[in-house]
Amino acid sequence: MVVPVSTAAAVDTVNTTRLEKAVTVNGILSHERVLQRIANQNGGTRASGTEGYRQSLRYVRSTLQAAGYSTVTQPFTFSSFTDNGTSVTQVSPTPGEYETAVLEYSGAGNVTGTVVPAKTIAIPPGNPGSTTSGCSASDFTPASTTQPQVALIQRGFCDFGTKVANAAAAGYDAALIFNEGQDGRTDVFQGTLGAPAAIPAAALSYADGSALVAAARAGAVTVNVTANVVTERKTTWNLIADSTMGDAGKTVVVGAHLDSVSEGPGINDNGSGTATILEIAVQMSKLKITPRQKLRFAFWGAEESGLLGSEYYVNSLNNDQLAQIYANLNFDMLGSPNYVRFVYDGDGSSGGPSGPAGSAQIEEIFANWFAGKGLATAPTDFDGRSDYGPFIAAGIPAGGLFSGAEGVKTEEEATIFGGTAGEAYDACYHQACDDITNLSTQALNELGDAAARATMTLALTKTGFFPDGSRMQARQQLDMSQFAYRGNHLVK
């Protein structure tokens, strides 16, 4: 569980004590309170495409401009998805309602039809992700042309969008995807189809899905799938703020997503990351810290729709501009009430994918700082859930911190980090209760100081990541399709 401390870190030591003392919990909370007020005045949300997001952006921009940063807003369009109510009920033979979750970019509709399981269903399931249910057109019996029918598909192997598209192509009027059934893959899940679908689509638990398979094989089962959803093209913005000093050929991008989900104000996710890097920027200016590398503070839009803002930014860079990006630091959820000090696993030592060359050294900056304070850390994989994704796909070294989302704290973690085993790191994740009361000030204190340490270290380092002091790195193109997430949404 504890990240080992390296004795041969390539990045030279920088004295960051002044900045760590200046970046306080009170300073971070001063920004969080403004974000909460903005949400309160705008229907309880700061989601991209809403007035709450626009006002959040204006506040962050004015704060940075007052601190002396040069700011640019970068507009882009995206598919905004709103769920106004999705339900799945059994009409016959036994009326009842299922616990369900809409799949992002589901089509809208109200369908009452007979359930038809896909041909490939694994009950009991095999290895996680191995079930190929719905992954090919041949897995569907052609739907009736006279009566509505609902495809029942098991999660696994390919992405949700492919499964639903195959069902629609086979003539089905709606699709239900139930969880695969292994440990950690049993409950109702939140996922994305990646793009707007032609038919309504929703998720079920493994227990409900497997029972529905058995019932449909035994006789006719009719369900109603209602998806009261809206998908529309909207404009949103990234906000980019540059230091006036520093080598533009070695630009350190320090990022956090500014948007919340539509369901809540997002004060932990990700007001905590936004407020922390905003306070770091303000205090660096007040302390007149002159960076050796240019610092670029980035506030991403539409992360909750699948990393769209950071992806748009990276894709907008030409080859010369891309080569100037020295590193990316990412801070997404730093104040979870039942927190763990997660550090992104740059060297892949915990079994997940390693980051591009230089990512291991970024991990060491965090690990060594926490170890020096007598604070344990745990590695977390580069799994595609946050805005480092487009950067590491382009070969840019990355790292950052994470205090935990909907995952459940283990007994071992509770022993090491405190808190409550068996409960979520953040029980209000993606909910209306992710408000100003949903923060651990201790987490903000510890992770905020570590974020300040890493930001200033990368801004002032002389030697860089490698022994010869160069910034050159092996550009490592990662296959992002290996990740099961796109942003905070499962894709398969």
Considering the domain boundaries, does residue 11 fall inside one? Answer: no
Indicate if the pLDDT at residue 245 is higher than 60.
yes
Considering the domain architecture, whether residues 261 and 168 belong to the same structural domain is answered as no
Considering the domain architecture, whether residues 299 and 434 belong to the same structural domain is answered as yes
> Would you tell me how many other CB atoms lie within 10 Å of the CB of residue 247?
13
What pLDDT does 467 receive?
Answer: 61
What is the pLDDT confidence band of residue 259, given thresholds at 50, 70 and 90? very high
Indicate the range of 155-159, 207-211, 389-393, 473-477 predicted with least confidence: 473-477
Considering the domain architecture, whether residues 98 and 136 belong to the same structural domain is answered as yes
In angstroms, rounded to a whole number, what is the distance separating the alpha carbons of residues 394 and 479? 10
Considering the domain architecture, whether residues 86 and 132 belong to the same structural domain is answered as yes
CATH number of 188's domain = 3.50.30.30
Considering the domain boundaries, does residue 44 fall inside one? Answer: yes
Considering the domain boundaries, does residue 476 fall inside one? Answer: yes
Going by C-alpha positions, the residue among 2, 51, 479 that lies closest to residue 260 is 51
pLDDT in tens, 194-236: 899 999 999 999 999 999 999 999 999 999 999 999 999 999 9
Considering the domain architecture, whether residues 113 and 45 belong to the same structural domain is answered as no
What pLDDT does 257 receive?
Answer: 98
In angstroms, rounded to a whole number, what is the distance separating the alpha carbons of residues 420 and 462? 42
Residue 188, CA atoms < 13 Å, CB-side half-sphere: 13
Considering the domain boundaries, does residue 48 fall inside one? Answer: yes
Considering the domain boundaries, does residue 466 fall inside one? Answer: yes
Considering the domain architecture, whether residues 107 and 195 belong to the same structural domain is answered as yes
What is the pLDDT confidence band of residue 468, given thresholds at 50, 70 and 90? low
Considering the domain architecture, whether residues 354 and 477 belong to the same structural domain is answered as yes
| Burial state string for 108-128 with b = 16 or more CB within 10 A and e = fewer than 16 | bbebbbbbbbbebbbeebeee
R_g (Cα) of the chain, nearest Å: 23
Looking only at the bridges linking them, the beta strands covering 101-102 and 201-204 are: antiparallel
Indicate if the pLDDT at residue 5 is higher than 90.
no
Domain ranges, residue 383:
17-69+243-490
- Using DSSP's 3-state secondary structure scheme, residue 293 falls into strand
Can you read off the two tokens belonging to residue 61? 């921009």
**Domain limit, last residue, from 178, 199, 230:** 230
What pLDDT does 472 receive?
Answer: 41
Q: How far is CA 213 from the centre of its chain?
A: 32
Can you read off the two tokens belonging to residue 162? 């492919």
Considering the domain architecture, whether residues 54 and 189 belong to the same structural domain is answered as no
> Would you tell me how many other CB atoms lie within 10 Å of the CB of residue 95?
10
* Better-scored residue on pLDDT, 417 or 477: 417
pLDDT in tens, 324-380: 999 999 999 999 999 999 999 999 999 989 999 999 999 999 999 999 999 999 999
Burial of 39 (C-beta count, 10 Å sphere; 0-12/13-18/19+): buried
What pLDDT does 10 receive?
Answer: 60
Q: Look at the block and give the residue holding tokens 């035994």.
A: 218
Indicate if the pLDDT at residue 1 is higher than 50.
no
Strand partners, 242: 70, 296
Q: 488 CB contacts (<8 Å, ≥6 apart)?
A: 190, 269, 303, 304, 385, 386, 405, 430
Question: 261, 48 in Cβ contact below 8 A?
Answer: no
Question: 278, 63 in Cβ contact below 8 A?
Answer: yes
Considering the domain boundaries, does residue 6 fall inside one? Answer: no
Considering the domain boundaries, does residue 236 fall inside one? Answer: no
Share of the chain above pLDDT 90, in %: 89
CATH number of 443's domain = 3.40.630.10
Domain count, the chain: 2
Query: pTM for the complete prediction?
Result: 0.89
DSSP one-letter code for 464: -
The pLDDT of 300-314, averaged and rounded, is 96
**Domain limit, last residue, from 164, 196, 230:** 230
Indicate if the pLDDT at residue 64 is higher than 80.
yes
Considering the domain architecture, whether residues 348 and 476 belong to the same structural domain is answered as yes
What is the pLDDT confidence band of residue 53, given thresholds at 50, 70 and 90? very high
What would the 3-class secondary structure string for 350-419 be?
A: CCCCCCCCCHHHHHHHHHHHHHHCCCCCEEECCCCCCCCHHHHHCCCCEEEEECCCCCECCHHHHHHHCC
Indicate if the pLDDT at residue 486 is higher than 90.
no
Q: 26 CB contacts (<8 Å, ≥6 apart)?
A: none
Question: 473, 250 in Cβ contact below 8 A?
Answer: no
Indicate if the pLDDT at residue 238 is higher than 80.
yes
pLDDT in tens, 135-165: 999 999 999 999 999 999 999 999 999 999 9
What pLDDT does 86 receive?
Answer: 97
What pLDDT does 12 receive?
Answer: 86
What is the pLDDT confidence band of residue 483, given thresholds at 50, 70 and 90? low
Considering the domain architecture, whether residues 226 and 255 belong to the same structural domain is answered as no
Considering the domain boundaries, does residue 1 fall inside one? Answer: no
The pLDDT of 389-405, averaged and rounded, is 97
Question: 86, 102 in Cβ contact below 8 A?
Answer: yes
Q: 134 CB contacts (<8 Å, ≥6 apart)?
A: 118, 120, 140, 151, 153, 154, 158, 162, 163, 164, 166, 167, 177
Considering the domain architecture, whether residues 190 and 322 belong to the same structural domain is answered as no
**Domain limit, last residue, from 181, 202, 230:** 230
What pLDDT does 384 receive?
Answer: 84
Find the catalytic residue in 104, 180, 303, 446.
303
* Catalytic residue list contains 303: yes
Indicate if the pLDDT at residue 2 is higher than 60.
no
Considering the domain architecture, whether residues 330 and 295 belong to the same structural domain is answered as yes
